[in-house]
Amino acid sequence: MNILIQHIVVIWDECDHVGKKRGTEISKVFFKYYASAFPDGAKTAESPHVITTSSKIICDKRMTSFLHGGEFVPFQGENKDLAIVKFCTTGVVDQNEEFHYILDDVRYLRHSKNDPALGANNSVLTVFITSDKARGMSSALDHVFKGETKMRSSFMSFQVPKLSGKKHERIKFAGNMLGVELKKRFVHLERDALLLNMV
Confidence band of 94 (pLDDT split at 50, 70, 90)? very high
What 3-state class would DSSP assign to 74?
A: strand
* Predicted pLDDT at 75: 92
Distance of alpha carbon 64 from alpha carbon 23, whole angstroms: 27
pTM: 0.88
Give residue 145's pLDDT band: very low, low, confident or very high (50, 70, 90): confident
* Position with higher pLDDT, 120 vs 148: 120
Q: What is the pLDDT of residue 59?
A: 65
User: Residue 18 pLDDT > 60, yes or no?
Assistant: no
What is the structure's pLDDT at 155? 92
For 128-137, what is each residue's pLDDT tens digit? 998 888 888 9
Q: Quote the radius of gyration of the chain (alpha carbons, Å).
A: 16
Task: Indicate the class that CATH gives domain 2-192.
Answer: alpha beta
Percent of the chain residues topping a pLDDT of 70: 90
* Confidence grade of residue 20 (pLDDT, cut at 50, 70, 90): low
pLDDT of 72 reads: 96
pLDDT at 166: 67
Average pLDDT of the residues in 90-115 = 90
Half-sphere exposure of 78 (CA within 13 A, CB side): 9
**pLDDT tops 90 at residue 122:** no
Q: Where are the domains of the chain?
A: 2-192
Beta strands, E only, the chain: 2-5, 7-12, 49-52, 65-68, 71-74, 92-93, 99-100, 124-130, 154-159, 186-190, 193-197
**Mean pLDDT (whole number) for 54-66:** 79
pLDDT tens per residue, range 38-49 = 999 988 878 888
**pLDDT average, residue stretch 132-143:** 87
pLDDT at 81 over 80: yes
Is residue 28's pLDDT more than 80?
A: yes
Percentage of the chain exceeding pLDDT 90: 46
